[in-house]
DNA sequence: TGTACATCAGTGAACGCGCGTTCACTGATGTAC
DNA sequence: TGTACATCAGTGAACGCGCGTTCACTGATGTAC
């Protein structure tokens, strides 16, 4: 892309010296690096000093962007939950059909993406939904909203078993979330997932 | 209880000087104190030195009983899972009836106890099922076995919806476990639990 | 456009801390004869 | 039953470490005139 005005030029130049002095987007860089560290070693092992050093900045610089270490950890948790929501949205976009089969496929894809995300990013998943980051206020609920919409869609098509729609989203979410947790921590064998999904299908669908 | 032989006398006396030199049961004391500390502050905050000090023993004494700090943490996790299994067994014992209603009540009690245990001991629950203590080998599965037995009992009475028995235990466990996790971390409101249980009943029972 | 100045976003040294773990030791306990 | 000895289960000092956080500072950036 060719810069077409001074602001753009300046911005690009600014990016190119991001590591020189004023960093450009140190806040986001710290979050990304912290997420990377957590992904590798779990949230127990993370150190603000280490994250700052890896980003190429002194530890004290972080305090211009985060009140304390916990604030950085919270930002990572938000980021992870955002990524999960994004992955789910992308999965939905891949199944645009308006027929019943597509509606079912979307519903199943949501669960599948959730489970896959947890398995591929166990430490980040555990961080976002674990002991740290107890969620006092409602989290960005893109993922949950998508589930509710998918269930409503199924229900409006008469594909949900009669009489179970109310509160079903909590049961489904709990179930997939629990399976994710138990799989990550080694208590459920991933080989049983197919069977699990088959049972869920029978339980929910008409 | 009156001591009736020399061994008993010796044992009782031994107990009475537990804090003097040889401790008596330092291993169990350390596990109990560690569990207490985790219950209060979460597994992040625990320190082997602090646990030892609270028990009234030098930190190095712990190394006669545990290879390292992680071994102590693992022992706590086992202990917690054992407690959960015990609580479930006790709940079953309170509902001894042989009729259908009792069988259903037992099944529901298992889920209720699991959920209650998690809510009453959030930090211990998170420790046992969380990032620490990744379970490489199968855990003592008293709790899971009880669930399987309860489902088999329901099924043999024809109370489980036809065609869903196979693999159902994993779905139920995942669901209750997930609800426990999400409740502890503040993502599900305990006020919705009744609705949740009503849906579960409709999903599972004939 | 240039200049004076406020603000922003870094630096690096230092503080103070508690931690896990090791080590040489010693007193208590158990055992063989 | 007494005694000699091995083993067990403690002690306490020390090592070395990395951590979160603060502070006075300074150079870069943005802005008002």
State residue B5's pLDDT score: 29
**Percentage of residues in chain A with pLDDT exceeding 70?**
86
> How far A7 CA lies from chain B's nearest CA (Å)?
43
Chain B positions touching chain A (beta carbons under 8 Å): 42-44, 123, 126-127, 129-136, 139, 163-164, 166-168, 170-171, 173-182, 185-188, 192, 195-196, 198-200, 202-204
Q: Which of A42, A171, A192 sits opposite B175 (nearest CB)?
A: A171
| β-bridge mates for residue B160, sequence order | B205
* Number of other CB atoms surrounding residue B84 within 10 Å: 22
Integer Cα distance of B147 and B107 in angstroms: 7
Instruction: Give A-chain residues touching B133 at CB under 8 angstroms.
Output: 185
What is the rounded (10 degree) CA torsion for A29, A33, A38, A41?
-170
Token pair belonging to A17: 């010296």
- Provide DSSP, B135-171: -SSPPP-HHHHHHHHHHHHHHHTT-BPTT--TTHHHH
Protein-to-nucleotide distance from the CA of B21 to the C1' of C23, whole angstroms: 20
Integer Cα distance of A129 and B182 in angstroms: 8
Q: H or E segment at A9? A: helix A6-16
Integer Cα distance of A100 and B104 in angstroms: 35
pLDDT in tens, chain B (206 residues): 223 322 222 333 333 334 455 677 999 999 999 999 999 999 999 999 999 999 999 999 999 999 999 999 999 999 999 999 999 999 999 999 999 999 999 999 999 999 999 999 999 999 999 887 767 666 778 999 999 999 999 999 999 999 999 999 999 999 999 999 999 999 999 999 999 999 999 999 99
pLDDT in tens, chain A (206 residues): 223 322 222 333 333 334 455 777 999 999 999 999 999 999 999 999 999 999 999 999 999 999 999 999 999 999 999 999 999 999 999 999 999 999 999 999 999 999 999 999 999 999 999 887 767 666 678 999 999 999 999 999 999 999 999 999 999 999 999 999 999 999 999 999 999 999 999 999 99
Instruction: Give B-chain residues touching A181 at CB under 8 angstroms.
Output: 129, 177-178, 181
* Pairwise CB contact (< 8 Å): A130 & B133: no
Protein-to-nucleotide distance from the CA of B22 to the C1' of D7, whole angstroms: 13
> How far B61 CA lies from chain A's nearest CA (Å)?
25
Which residues neighbour A200 within 8 Å (Cβ) at sequence distance 6 or greater? Answer: A111, A172, A175, B171
Integer Cα distance of B103 and B100 in angstroms: 5
Nucleotides of C under 7 A from a protein CB: 9-14, 18-24, 27-29
State residue A137's pLDDT score: 62
Model-wide pTM > 0.85? yes
């Amino acid at each position: 892309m060719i810069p077409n005005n001074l602001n753009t030029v300046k911005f690009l130049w600014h990016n190119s010296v991001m590591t020189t002095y004023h960093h450009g987007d140190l806040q986001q860089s710290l979050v990304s690096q912290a997420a990377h560290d957590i992904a590798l070693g779990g949230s127990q092992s993370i150190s603000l000093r280490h994250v700052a050093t890896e980003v190429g900045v002194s530890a004290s610089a972080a305090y211009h962007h985060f009140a304390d270490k916990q604030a950085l950890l919270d930002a990572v948790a938000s980021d992870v939950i955002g990524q999960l929501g994004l992955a789910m949205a992308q999965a939905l976009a891949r199944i645009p059909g308006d027929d019943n089969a597509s509606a079912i496929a979307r519903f199943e894809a949501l669960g599948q993406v959730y489970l896959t995300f947890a398995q591929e990013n166990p430490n980040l998943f555990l961080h976002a939904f674990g002991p740290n980051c107890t969620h006092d206020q409602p989290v960005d609920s893109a993922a949950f909203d998508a589930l509710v919409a998918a269930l409503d869609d199924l229900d409006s098509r008469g594909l949900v078993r009669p009489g179970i729609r109310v509160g079903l989203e909590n049961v489904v979410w709990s179930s997939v979330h629990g399976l994710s947790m138990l799989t990550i921590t080694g208590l459920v064998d991933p080989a049983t997932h197919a069977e699990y999904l088959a049972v869920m299908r029978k339980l929910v669908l008409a």
